[in-house]
Amino acid sequence: MKDMIIFTKQKHPRTKILLITPAPMLEEEPRQRTQVLRNAVIQLASELNVGVLDSWKVLLGPSGEYNPSVSRFYYDGNFPHQYCCPMLST
Domains of the chain (ranges plus CATH)?
A: 2-88 (3.40.50.12700)
pLDDT score for 87? 47
Using a 10 angstrom Cβ sphere, with 0-12 exposed, 13-18 middle and 19 or more buried, the burial of residue 24 is buried
pLDDT score for 62? 80
pLDDT score for 74? 62
Q: Which amino acid type is present at position 27?
A: E
Packed helices 28-48 and 2-11: angle between N→C axes, nearest 10 degrees: 30
Task: Measure Cα distances from 73 to 20, 69, 80, 86 in Å.
Answer: 20, 9, 5, 13
Task: Please tell me whether the overall predicted TM-score, pTM, comes out greater than 0.75 for this model.
Answer: no
Tens digits of pLDDT across the chain (90 residues)? 999 999 999 999 999 999 999 888 766 677 788 889 999 999 999 999 999 999 888 877 787 777 767 666 665 554 544 445 444 444
Contact status, residue 27 vs residue 78, Cβ threshold 8 Å: no
